[in-house]
């Protein structure tokens, strides 16, 4: 009988850093490097499980072979005609040498997480990378090349599991939703800022799934300036209900950190305290409603200082370690000088973290209306 701590695994490999879209690109590998450097500064040496790169055969369970060929070719410096149709060579998805093998290594990490849960060598896995939820079958989009999440989900459903996918990134998890749109073994739940305001512009309540997959694809397009309290109401009233009804064999979570109030690419208002509450809820839901099997990946998060703190909180909570109050001066100084940014002195945000939001009551009302519309829409199918 394995000791309890062995049932928890963290996946990482330095080659994840090869998925680098350029020094000016927001999807920076430095965000994870900051977390690892902070743990080191605290004297904590994490134990990582190392993945293999996935090969083309494995990628073909999710992506078209022509697309994979194009990604691999441009990434090794070869010219490919008509790369625009694959979403490659854009500002969001620039072509960088070596990006494909970095993406395959990361996809291997998320896949390894799925395999650990399947074989029972872990009950909880934290993959310190991945979460490429915008990648589609034949299209790179929103900083994503290969959809590691879909690969992990495929691995699980191939073994007969029912999988719930929860996406807390501030952007709609469109790629994962689309790949499993008519699949009745996969429930996707995406909480995001409304597509009326941000990329990718989808993720509406009426996108419920098709055929056998109907009422298994849930979208919560939240109002801009949604605060933690209203966000948690959505989690309790919709996510909890959905998992209770679906009874998945495992829960996969894309834990983007871009719903933080300081994120430059979006307008939700979560604080680090809200993230702590949200992570605690996710652990609890996975234990009670998802057969105690959980795989968490990272995702978006474009404020360096907030993302590093949020993922550090995630790591510490995952490992059941105490959350320190302050951040080490040496670590702050190092990253302030490297990134030319200001880093707060505490792990958590100040309380209150921002001035009162003028439209607060209106936002809460609109989100409640959203919960109602979604629950009404699925009611007939969830009997």
Binding segment (CB under 5 A) for Zn ion, from list 5-13, 73-81, 243-251, 297-305: 297-305
Residue 18 Cβ, how far from Zn ion at the closest point, in Å? 21
Q: Based on CB atoms, which residue is closest to Zn ion, 104 or 192? A: 192
The closest alpha carbon to 52, from 104, 9, 4, belongs to 104
- When binding is defined by CB under 5 A, the residue of 252, 256, 278, 309 that contacts Zn ion is 256
Q: Based on CB atoms, which residue is closest to Zn ion, 108 or 256? A: 256
Binding segment (CB under 5 A) for Zn ion, from list 75-83, 85-93, 122-130, 292-300: 292-300
Binding segment (CB under 5 A) for Zn ion, from list 39-47, 123-131, 223-231, 251-259: 251-259
Instruction: Classify 5 as helix, strand or coil.
Output: helix
Residue 277 Cβ, how far from Zn ion at the closest point, in Å? 20
* 167 is an interface residue for Zn ion by CB under 5 A: no
- When binding is defined by CB under 5 A, the residue of 63, 124, 171, 260 that contacts Zn ion is 171
Q: How far apart are CA 296 and CA 252, in angstroms?
A: 6
* 300 is an interface residue for Zn ion by CB under 5 A: yes
- x/- mask, Zn ion, residues 114-153, rule CB under 5 A, reads ----------------------------------------
Residue 266 Cβ, how far from Zn ion at the closest point, in Å? 7
Taking CB positions, which residue lies at the least distance from Zn ion? 300
Q: Based on CB atoms, which residue is closest to Zn ion, 133 or 348? A: 133
What values do phi and psi take at 79, rounded to 5?
-80, 140
* 258 is an interface residue for Zn ion by CB under 5 A: yes
Residue 258 Cβ, how far from Zn ion at the closest point, in Å? 4
Residue 268 Cβ, how far from Zn ion at the closest point, in Å? 11
Q: Based on CB atoms, which residue is closest to Zn ion, 169 or 207? A: 169
Residue 168 Cβ, how far from Zn ion at the closest point, in Å? 10
Binding segment (CB under 5 A) for Zn ion, from list 122-130, 300-308, 324-332, 344-352: 300-308
Q: Based on CB atoms, which residue is closest to Zn ion, 179 or 268? A: 268
Residue 222 Cβ, how far from Zn ion at the closest point, in Å? 13
Residues making contact with Zn ion (CB under 5 A): 169, 171, 256, 258, 300
């Amino acid at each position: 009988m394995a000791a309890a701590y062995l049932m928890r695994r963290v996946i990482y490999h330095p080659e994840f850093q090869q998925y680098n879209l350029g020094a000016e690109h927001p999807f920076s590998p430095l965000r994870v490097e900051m977390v690892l450097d902070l743990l080191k500064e605290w004297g904590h040496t994490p134990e990582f499980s190392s993945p293999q790169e996935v090969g083309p055969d494995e990628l073909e369970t999710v992506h078209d072979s022509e697309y994979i060929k194009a990604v691999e070719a441009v990434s090794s410096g070869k010219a490919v005609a008509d790369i625009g149709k694959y979403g490659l060579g854009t500002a969001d998805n620039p072509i960088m040498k070596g990006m494909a093998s970095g993406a395959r290594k990361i996809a291997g990490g998320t896949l390894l997480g799925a395999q650990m849960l399947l074989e029972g060598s872990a009950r909880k896995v934290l993959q310190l990378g991945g979460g490429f939820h915008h990648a589609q079958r034949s299209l790179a989009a929103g900083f994503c090349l290969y959809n590691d999440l879909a690969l992990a989900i495929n691995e699980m459903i191939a073994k007969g599991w029912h999988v719930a996918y929860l996406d807390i990134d501030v952007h709609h998890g469109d790629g994962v939703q689309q790949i499993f749109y008519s699949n009745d073994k996969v429930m996707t739940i995406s909480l995001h800022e409304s597509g009326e305001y941000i990329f990718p512009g989808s993720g509406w309540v009426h996108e419920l799934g098709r055929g056998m997959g109907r009422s298994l694809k849930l979208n919560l397009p939240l109002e801009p300036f949604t605060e933690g309290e209203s966000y948690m109401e959505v989690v309790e009233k919709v996510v909890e209900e959905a998992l209770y009804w679906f009874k998945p064999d495992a829960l996969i979570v894309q834990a983007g950190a871009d719903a933080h109030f300081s994120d430059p690419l979006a307008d939700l208002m979560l604080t680090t305290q809200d993230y702590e509450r949200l992570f605690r809820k996710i652990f609890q839901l996975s234990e009670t409603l998802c057969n105690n099997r959980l795989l968490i990946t990272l995702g978006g998060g474009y404020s360096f200082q907030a993302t590093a703190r949020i993922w550090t909180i995630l790591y510490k909570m995952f490992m059941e370690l105490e959350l320190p109050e302050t951040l080490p001066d040496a670590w702050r100084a190092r990253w302030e000088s490297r990134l030319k940014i200001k880093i707060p002195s505490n792990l958590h945000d100040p309380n209150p973290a921002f001035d009162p939001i003028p439209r607060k009551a209106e936002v809460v009302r609109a989100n409640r209306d959203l919960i109602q519309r979604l629950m009404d829409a699925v009611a007939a199918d969830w009997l």
